[in-house]
Chains A and B, each alone.
Chain A
Amino acid sequence: AQSVTQPDIHITVSEGASLELRCNYSYGATPYLFWYVQSPGQGLQLLLKYFSGDTLVQGIKGFEAEFKRSQSSFNLRKPSVHWSDAAEYFCAVGEGGTASKLTFGTGTRLQVTL
């Protein structure tokens, strides 16, 4: 069965600093990978997705993620964090088949200090 691990429960960074959120997955075939962001009391918003091709994918709000098959990782990065980036971030892996069924990690809560 597929699984997703986000090893950092909580991360604090200063505004303007760089950010990297870790995500490791377990899946037998080529995975479909996603990063979502959730503000308190809200639903999830898609930041970016990887299906195939270029292993460095660009998303919204200045985020990017790099797929590394050898490390089974899909880490999310941002060169300069803004205070509005404070939220919870979820990595997810998609299951093959006819429906877009996803398995989510437990999330990383990002706090931004001014």
Chain B
Amino acid sequence: DGGITQSPKYLFRKEGQNVTLSCEQNLNHDAMYWYRQDPGQGLRLIYYSQIVNDFQKGDIAEGYSVSREKKESFPLTVTSAQKNPTAFYLCASSTQRSNQPQHFGDGTRLSIL
């Protein structure tokens, strides 16, 4: 079945450590997105990519980095510069057409040790 796979489901970070969250899709979608979800704040866009080797900052990009070397993959790195990384992270993908919905993975919960 086509879908989006996020791994790991749970991740722990030590102080000063970078961690990378994986997102893979087999829907043949051009666009991919990373969101951060905190209680009571809905989803906030971190980064998005419309095509391979290109990506744009979202509303809360500081302390995060991404790459898009393959159409299927859009990993997110949470750097040590992100001082409050504890959150639920969601990856999504869509076609490039503006009236198409996004499809979501099951998320990664990141916590600080």
Contact = CB atoms under 8 A, between A and B. Distances in A.
Given A34-B101, A43-B106, A106 B40 contact: yes
Identify the 3 closest CB pairs spanning chains A and B, nearest first.
Answer: A43-B104, A100-B94, A106-B42
Given A43-B90, A43-B107, A44-B90, A102 B42 contact: no
25 contacts: A34-B101, A36-B104, A41-B107, A42-B106, A42-B107, A43-B106, A44-B90, A44-B104, A45-B104, A46-B103, A51-B99, A96-B98, A97-B98, A98-B50, A98-B96, A99-B31, A100-B31, A100-B99, A101-B45, A101-B48, A101-B98, A105-B42, A106-B40, A106-B41, A107-B42
Nearest to B43: A104
Interface of B: 4, 6, 31, 33, 35, 40-43, 45, 48, 50, 88, 90, 92, 94-107, 109
A27 to B, nearest CB: 12
A90 interface: yes
Contacts of A97: 98
Which of the listed residues B35, B41, B104 has the most CB atoms from chain A within 10 Å of its own CB? Answer: B104
A35 to B, nearest CB: 10
Contacts of A105: 42
A63 interface: no
Nearest to B3: A43
Given A98-B96, A106-B42, A43 B105 contact: yes
B4 to A, nearest CB: 8
A97 B33 CA distance: 15
